[in-house]
Amino acid sequence: MIVADRKPLEEILNSIKDYKKIMLAGCGGCVTICFSGGAKAVELLASQIKMAGKKEGRDIEIVECTPERQCEYEFIDELKKDLGSVDAVLSIACGVGVQAMSQRHPDTITIPGLNTKFMGYPIEHALWDERCAGCGDCVLEWTGGICPIARCAKKLLNGPCGGSANGKCEVDKDTDCAWQLIYDRLKKLGKLDNLKKIREPKDWRMSTNAGQRRIKFEEAML
Amino acid sequence: MKSDSRLEKVLTAGKFAVTAELGPPQNADPEAIKKKAVGWASAHQVGGASPTLRSCVDGANITDNQTAIVRMSSIAAAAIAISCGVEPVVQMVCRDRNRIAMQSDILGAAALGVKNLLCLSGDHQKFGNHPQAANVFDIDSVQLIAMVKKMRDEKRFLCGDPIKEHEPRLFIGAVENPFADPFEYRVLRLAKKVEAGADFIQTQCVFDVEKFARWMGLVVAEGLHKKVHILAGLTPVRSHKALVYMKNEVAGMSIPDELIKRMESAGEPKEEGVKICLEMIEQVRNIEGVAGIHLMPIGWESITPVILERAGLLPRPEV
């Protein structure tokens, strides 16, 4: 899932300071699961904005909504009927949702209320860790299911750097060294030979280095 | 000979090699390098009617924005060192440049007379003075070693295009940290670096000689010491505080408490630091597979010729 974090309230208030009436649009997808952009987050943020506005003597009107997913046209088309009456949309979907809104409703300004962080999953309640960097050329087959691209601060492909100590990464003592995890898992699986092979330089064209990426699913094309 | 490197000649001749770190300044002053290099070169004049200057080290490691703090380019500083009669070992990290810039710099370094290149991943930018910077890590240190070897031996760029003439003739170095985790994997990783094309290895600072000896035992058991020249990294310290700092703040360091106590109770800590370093030189010399030492006196480079003189390692041999 995509994990996002709410922007500081002050930044949000500043970004909507020129508007009297806004639509606050959440998303029923990933950001609902990570608590930053679902219906409850919309309700909370709306009341925070109204209270902050009142303190400044401003009466901010808010239309609240949480489409099933903000990243698909079919779910955001239904918002059009209300867009004519608002000055702007404050979106608390991920960056994909914000852009889908901007693209589908080009006459309305959509402002992001979240910082989109990474692809990951909750490792325990209310705690998410990054797991995939979307590099476009998956290596999990030989790394024991642990990604060195997303989880090693140096994206190393041929083993740990000299800063791996007591299972932790030198960059953050609370973060596991991805290569220690890879080593331990492969050792357990009897597949340490996977680490003996020199891994060739990665083809970063598959990643974000060749511009915007596109996937076409020929079989499903109409 | 793979290169025209003095370090290669010394190691190939089976003589105990000496390299030491020479850090570039955080400014554009060439004198900062010249002063150190000339000091090293004149530390011992080789006799004869007209004595000639010879560097007190076989190779001077020019660090590449070490700990991610901006300093003079290692290749530029190396060119200055060469002009002073000191043979540099240019350090190159994967943090700041992609494969295009690295190959370009490798050609440039060789054109300026650089004969040794040390390939490293590089300290993460978090530890430096620009923690906001994007890191590159287009390739990693093992891939960098293989790339330099490909340029030298196959006369090809990484992409396969030929280097029609004047390929860079470099003696290829790599590093290994015997004290980082996973301990057992460190030998396997060294083997990978050797397979990729490393000619010599400089290790992380050895303070824990016992653990280093254990690691060397594994290295020798794998026969790696016959395929690559291993130089033990040594850091003389001036105070116990430096040791405490490294123990607590630098990941992947092993520093015995007895060493800290010894430095703390010393009447003259600087002299004690030199003595400890001299003892360690003797200890690592006696470990099978150790082909030389690499001195890294952090912020105390003037002590290098002193230690080498007292260790009986001067003058450096004729090769």
Residues of A in contact with B134 (CB under 8 A): none
Residue A181: closest C-alpha in chain B: B182
User: Based on the number of CB atoms within 10 Å of its own CB, is B49 exposed (0-12), middle (13-18) or buried (19 or more)?
Assistant: exposed
B67 — contact with chain A (CB < 8 Å)? Answer: no
pLDDT along chain B (319 residues), means of 10: 96 98 97 91 61 81 97 98 95 98 98 98 96 98 98 98 98 96 92 98 97 97 98 97 93 93 96 97 98 95 94 93
For residue A196, the distance in angstroms to the closest alpha carbon of chain B comes to 7
**Predicted local distance difference test score (pLDDT) of residue A144:** 98
User: If 0-12 CB within 10 Å is exposed, 13-18 middle and 19+ buried, where does residue B223 land?
Assistant: exposed
Burial label for A154, CB within 10 Å (0-12, 13-18, 19+), is buried
| Chain A: closest CA distance from residue B57 (Å) | 25
Q: Do B177 and A157 touch (CB under 8 A)?
A: no
Residue keyed to tokens 């909507």: A16
- Across the interface, whether the CB atoms of B95 and A154 are under 8 A apart is answered yes
ipTM attached to this prediction: 0.94
| Interface membership of B313 toward A (CB under 8 Å) | no
**Cα–Cα dist A163/B125, whole Å:** 13
Please check whether residue A23 is in contact with residue A91, taking contact to mean a CB–CB distance below 8 angstroms.
no
Q: Which of B226, B200, B289 is nearest to B6 (CA)?
A: B200
Nearest CA in chain A to B142: A158
> Which residue in this structure is represented by tokens 């606050």?
A24
Contact between chains at B182 and A196 (C-beta distance less than 8 A): no
- Over residues A109-128, the mean pLDDT reads 97
Residue of chain A minimizing CA distance to B96: A154
The pLDDT-based confidence of A168 (bands split at 50, 70, 90) is very high
Per residue in A39-68, pLDDT (tens digit) is 999 999 999 999 999 999 999 999 999 999
Nearest Cα residue to A24 out of A94, A84, A112, A95: A112
The amino acid that residue A76 corresponds to is I
Residues 6 or more apart whose CB falls under 8 angstroms from that of B193 comprise B141, B142, B145, B174, B176, B201, B228
Burial of A214 (0-12, 13-18, 19+ CB in 10 A): exposed
Q: Which of A154, A155, A174, A175 should one mutate to test binding to chain B, selecting the residue with the greatest count of B CBs within 10 A?
A: A154
Is B60 an interface residue toward A (CB < 8 Å)? no
Residue B175 near residue B157, CB atoms below 8 Å = no
| B21-70 residue pLDDT tens | 999 999 999 999 999 998 887 655 555 555 556 789 999 999 999 999 99
State the pLDDT at residue B45.
59
Which residues share a beta bridge with B120? B93
Give the pairing type, strands B17-21 and A172-176: unpaired
- Alpha-carbon span B280 to B206, nearest angstrom: 8
Residue scoring higher pLDDT (B52 or A28): A28
For A70-92, the pLDDT digits (tens) are 999 999 999 999 999 999 999 99
List the one residue out of B254, B91, B285 whose CA is nearest residue B174: B91
Contacts of B196 in chain A (CB under 8 A): 198
Quick check: A92 and A113 in contact, CB under 8 A?
A: yes
Residues on chain B touching A135 (C-beta within 8 angstroms): none
User: Are B121 and A154 inside 8 Å of each other by CB?
Assistant: yes
pLDDT at position B43: 57
Provide the b/e sequence for B225-264 (b: ≥16 CB within 10 Å).
beebbbbbbbbbbbebebbeebbeebbbbbbeeebbebbe
What's the one-letter identity of residue B29?
D
Mean pLDDT, chain A, integer: 96
> Which residue among B175, B180, B191 places its CB closest to the CB of A163?
B180
The shortest CB-CB distance from B180 to any of A153, A162, A200 is to A162
The proportion of chain A whose per-residue pLDDT surpasses 70, expressed as a percent, equals 100
Of A159, A163, A170, the CB nearest to B192: A159
Query: Exposed, middle or buried: residue A185 (CB in 10 Å: 0-12, 13-18, 19+)?
Result: middle
Backbone phi, then psi, for B84, in 5-degree steps?
Answer: -100, 10
Task: Assign 3-class secondary structure to chain A.
Answer: CEEEEECCHHHHHHHCCCCCEEEEECCCCHHHHCCCCCHHHHHHHHHHHHHHHHHCCCCCEEEEECCCCCCCHHHHHHHHHHHCCCCEEEECCCHHHHHHHHHHCCCCCEEECEEEEEEEEEEECCEEEEEECCCCCCCCCCCCCCCHHHHCCCCCCCCCCCCCECCEECCEEEEECHHHHHHHHHHHCCCHHHHCCCCCCCCHHHCHHHCCCCCCCHHHCC
What distance in Å separates the CA atoms of residue B78 and residue B88, rounded to the nearest whole number? 6
Q: What is the mean pLDDT of chain B?
A: 95
Count of A–B CB contacts within 8 Å? Answer: 99
Name every chain A residue with its beta carbon within 8 A of the beta carbon of B192: 158-159, 196, 198
